């Protein structure tokens, strides 16, 4: 599933072709692609509205329209891109928005897990999202307060969107590797220095992912169809059996919170 860097890459790529454009019409071939309201109401309400801003909240792409928020969650295989034609040669396009300049905003999803929403506030669909890890108010002190009293495994906690928004399996592994923290450590067992390292590592790892425009491991592609390059810079995720870039010991894969988890047992000891 695309995580914060992938979604942020999509957001930044869509601003130029969308902001200021008005919706002329909406087409869909599968009503369930619209989660709320009904597909018919979605079409009627969106038509005639203008895109004013494209932002991100956690893993949601959020378009500020005249009266509504047009939100998209890509899930596993979703893609959102602008096409010059209403027949982009993509057989998985389930929603298409025609713009006033003749271009089309296309939502494509092979597995049909992704959804679009037309809402008044993000709270309607995601009431329990945690803080944004790249915002200035997400400090090491805030992280320490949120860790306090939580005995869950730190990897599982990082995957919890109510704890911190936007971090998923890939960037949790990379953050813990950089911070030299074992993924099975109890969250409330981290000392002050480890919390500072983890805070810095989360922010650094996500910023690096954005700089390299996301990780194209499976389905993710940028809106222009090109691959992101983040996967070329991973130290832990997907590196099972390969030598650690710090110590040379093999990277190990285990399961945490039902997710494949990669770490170096030498650099990330289980204390």
Q: Which residues are catalytic?
A: 2-3, 59, 259
Q: How far apart are CA 242 and CA 252, in angstroms?
A: 9
If one counts every other C-beta atom within 10 angstroms of the C-beta of residue 125, the result is 17
**Nearest Cα residue to 247 out of 173, 199, 192, 177:** 177
Distance of CA 145 to the CA centre of its chain: 24
Q: Per residue, what are the HEC states of 160-188?
A: CCCCCCCCCHHHHHHHHHHHCCCCCCEHH
**Cis peptide upstream of residue 37 (ω within 30 degrees of 0):** yes
For residues 31 and 8, give the distance between their C-alpha atoms in angstroms, rounded to a whole number.
Answer: 27
Distance, in Å, from the CA atom of 83 to the CA atom of 88, rounded to the nearest integer, reads 6
Based on the number of CB atoms within 10 Å of its own CB, is 251 exposed (0-12), middle (13-18) or buried (19 or more)? buried
Distance (Å, rounded) from C-alpha 59 to C-alpha 6? Answer: 9
Sign of the torsion formed by the C-alpha atoms of 182, 188, 194 and 196: positive
């Amino acid at each position: 599933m695309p995580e914060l860097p992938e979604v942020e890459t999509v957001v930044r790529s869509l601003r130029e072709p969308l902001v200021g454009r008005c919706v002329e019409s909406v087409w869909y071939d599968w009503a369930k692609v619209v989660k709320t309201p009904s597909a018919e109401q979605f079409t009627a309400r969106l038509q005639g509205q203008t895109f004013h801003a494209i932002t991100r909240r956690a893993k949601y792409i959020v378009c500020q329209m005249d009266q509504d928020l047009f939100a998209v969650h890509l899930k596993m295989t979703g893609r959102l891109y602008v096409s010059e034609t209403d027949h982009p040669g993509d057989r998985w396009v389930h929603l298409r928005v025609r713009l006033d300049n003749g271009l089309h905003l296309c939502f494509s999803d092979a597995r049909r897990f992704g959804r679009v929403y037309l809402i008044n506030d993000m709270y309607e669909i995601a009431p329990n999202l945690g803080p944004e890890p790249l915002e200035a108010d997400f400090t090491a002190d805030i992280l320490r307060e949120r860790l306090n009293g939580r005995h869950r495994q730190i990897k599982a906690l990082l995957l919890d969107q109510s704890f911190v928004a936007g971090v998923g399996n890939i960037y949790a592994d990379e953050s813990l590797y950089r911070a030299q923290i074992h993924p099975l450590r109890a969250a409330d067992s981290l000392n002050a220095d480890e919390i500072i390292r983890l805070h810095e590592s989360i922010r650094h790892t996500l910023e690096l992912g954005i700089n390299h425009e996301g990780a194209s491991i499976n389905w993710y592609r940028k809106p222009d169809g090109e691959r992101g390059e983040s996967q070329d810079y991973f130290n832990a995720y997907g590196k099972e059996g390969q030598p650690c870039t710090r110590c040379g010991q093999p990277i190990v894969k285990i399961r945490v919170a039902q997710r494949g988890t990669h770490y170096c047992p030498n650099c990330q000891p289980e204390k």
